[in-house]
């Protein structure tokens, strides 16, 4: 919004609507709130608006929730009424001048008179079907209103968006490995400020062997300059960009990332590995990442290293929750995952919550596995076996060499998969997206075994793969509300 409207207009708009439209909401959300206020004051009776389908989730959804929480004057001469969404299309294709997006169409305001044949229980039409009610996430039905889900304290401080650089700090791996060999005036290795980097495409496709210059969260310019080659690169390529940033703090500290995610770095410190998922992805996939790798903002990371947490996140139950609690992006309608709405609301099984799986900290600052973690339990074992099989498919030993220079090994950087001669094209096709598009029988069986183990952890002895999605979500919502109370 700032890019299109400028700082002055954006700040003025947010000030006028403060307390009514949350920060981070799209511009269209302000039109929904403006229409709601006019209906509430009696200036009009109903409104119909078109928005991208992201109006159903995140900060935007709060505007729809405000509509449903507002009493309205009702139709003239008919006494008090109630404001509600009475007609909506939640997810429609919209093509305009060659641009393809996904949209939601929302009609709200004073309830219109029931149409013939609607019945007394009918209170709206959603996607052309008569329904009893329409919720703020543009779903319908009694007993399953996921907009009621609450943030859970036991999940807080565990899931984070990766670092946001806002400038070209990233470099090719070949250049980074050259720098690792160079001396510095401070006698320190460049591995202290140069490290592997990963974004969403490194997960869904093949690893790009991209590295990043990272001067941390508080290193001074003078100290950064002692790492000669990385600093000179940043002076040449980053400084001209960062000094133009409208954020004065970012401009002043141009040699550091704009949003280095201090809390995330603290949570990841000492872990032998951590969990990551792409912010936007066709398939909701989770992977293990080595601690030396810095996650980009297009990765959402979970600061846990145990197989049980990984298995729960990769289960059908969490995937269903994430799809309904998240938002969507672009013409491909790919789901987005967020630390707040999709992770911090999700009710983990009793005894396996993020609070329970927190690693123990040794006096030297390193972590020990959480109490009870091990391979004797069906859940960790199912998760580990699935990961191992997927890894073998992605990088079959017949096609793959694992390489690392002496400098990388000394710094503790992970091995890199490199295609053996003649298998470059073969390995290029081995991506997680292609794997989950095909979903071979062995992968489907691995997920079914994982789901059964997670269901056992929930105590759902009646679970079968045929259990309807709505029933699973209903149980998870009930558990969320109990935990939040």
Distance CA(105)–CA(177), nearest Å, equals 52
Q: What is the pLDDT of residue 5?
A: 78
Q: Are 472 and 316 contacting, i.e. CB atoms less than 8 angstroms apart?
A: yes
Question: What does the DSSP assignment read for 9-48?
Answer: HHHHHHHHTTTTS-TT--HHHHHHHHHHHHHHTTS-SEEE
Distance CA(124)–CA(140), nearest Å, equals 9
Residue 166 makes CB contacts below 8 A (sequence gap 6+) with 241, 242, 245, 250, 257, 258, 259
Considering only the C-alpha atoms of the chain, give the largest distance between any 2 of them, rounded to a whole number of Å: 84
Give residue 393's Cα distance to chain centre: 25
Q: What is the dihedral of CA 271, 275, 279, 285, to 10 degrees?
A: 170
Phi, psi of 328, rounded to the nearest 5 degrees: -130, 160
Distance CA(389)–CA(286), nearest Å, equals 14
DSSP state of 200: H
The two structure tokens encoding residue 255: 């040699």
Q: What is the pLDDT of residue 70?
A: 84
Q: How many CA atoms lie within 13 A of 381 on its CB side?
A: 8
Q: What is the pLDDT of residue 99?
A: 66
Q: What is the pLDDT of residue 75?
A: 47
Q: What is the pLDDT of residue 372?
A: 45
Q: Other CB atoms closer than 10 Å to residue 273's CB: what's the count?
A: 17
DSSP H or E segment with residue 213? strand 210-213
Q: What is the pLDDT of residue 101?
A: 77
DSSP state of 164: B
pLDDT in 10s for each residue of the chain, 485 residues: 777 777 788 889 989 999 899 887 889 999 999 999 999 888 888 899 999 888 888 788 889 989 988 876 654 444 445 688 989 998 888 877 766 678 899 999 886 655 544 554 557 889 988 888 888 888 887 668 888 899 999 999 999 999 999 999 999 999 999 999 999 999 999 999 999 999 999 999 999 999 999 999 999 999 999 999 999 999 999 999 999 988 899 999 999 999 999 999 999 998 999 999 999 998 999 999 999 999 999 999 999 999 999 999 999 999 999 988 887 765 556 788 989 989 999 999 999 999 988 876 555 555 555 544 544 467 878 878 888 889 999 999 999 999 999 999 999 999 999 999 999 999 999 999 999 999 999 999 999 999 999 999 999 999 999 999 989 999 999 999 999 98
């Amino acid at each position: 919004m700032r890019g299109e409207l400028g700082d002055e207009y954006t700040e003025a708009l947010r000030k006028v609507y403060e307390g009514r439209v949350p920060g981070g909401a799209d511009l269209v959300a302000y039109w929904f709130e403006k229409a709601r206020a006019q209906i509430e004051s009696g200036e009009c009776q109903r409104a119909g608006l078109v928005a991208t389908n992201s109006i159903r989730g995140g900060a935007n959804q709060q505007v729809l929730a405000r509509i449903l929480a507002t009493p309205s004057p009702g139709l003239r001469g008919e006494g008090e009424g109630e404001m509600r969404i009475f007609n909506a299309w939640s997810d429609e294709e919209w093509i305009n001048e060659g641009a393809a997006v996904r949209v939601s169409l929302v009609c709200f305001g004073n309830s219109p008179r029931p149409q013939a044949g609607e019945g007394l229980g009918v209170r709206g039409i959603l996607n052309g079907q008569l329904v009893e009610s329409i919720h703020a996430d543009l779903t319908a039905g009694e007993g399953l209103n996921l907009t009621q889900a609450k943030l859970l304290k036991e999940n807080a401080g565990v899931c984070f968006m990766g670092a946001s650089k806002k400038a070209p700090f990233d470099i090719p791996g070949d250049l980074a490995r050259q720098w690792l060999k160079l001396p510095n005036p401070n006698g320190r290795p460049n591995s202290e400020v140069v490290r592997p980097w990963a974004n969403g495409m490194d997960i869904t496709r093949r690893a790009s062997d991209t590295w990043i210059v990272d001067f941390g969260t508080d290193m001074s310019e003078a100290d950064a300059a002692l790492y000669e080659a990385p600093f000179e690169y940043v002076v040449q390529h980053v400084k001209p960009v960062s000094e133009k940033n409208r954020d004065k703090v970012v401009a002043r500290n141009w040699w550091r990332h704009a949003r280095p995610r201090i809390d995330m770095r603290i949570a990841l410190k000492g872990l032998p590995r951590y969990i990551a998922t792409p912010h936007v992805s066709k398939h909701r996939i989770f992977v293990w990442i080595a601690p030396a790798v810095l996650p980009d903002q297009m990765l959402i990371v979970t600061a846990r290293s145990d197989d049980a947490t990984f298995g729960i996140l990769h289960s059908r139950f969490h995937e269903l929750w994430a799809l309904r609690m998240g938002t969507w992006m672009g013409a491909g309608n790919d789901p987005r995952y967020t630390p707040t709405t999709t992770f911090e609301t999700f009710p983990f099984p009793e005894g396996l919550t993020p609070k329970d799986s927190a690693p123990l900290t040794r006096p030297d600052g390193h972590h020990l596995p959480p109490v009870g973690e091990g391979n004797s339990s069906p859940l960790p074992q199912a998760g580990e076996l699935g990961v191992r099989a997927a890894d073998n498919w992605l990088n079959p030993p017949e096609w793959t060499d694992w390489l690392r220079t002496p400098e990388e090994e000394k710094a503790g950087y992970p091995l890199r998969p490199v295609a053996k001669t003649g298998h470059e094209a073969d390995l290029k096709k081995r991506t997680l997206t292609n794997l989950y598009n095909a979903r071979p029988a062995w992968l489907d069986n691995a997920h079914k075994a994982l789901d059964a183990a997670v269901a056992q952890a929930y105590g759902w002895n009646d679970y079968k793969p045929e259990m309807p999605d709505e029933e699973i979500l209903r149980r998870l919502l009930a558990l969320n509300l109990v935990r939040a109370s």
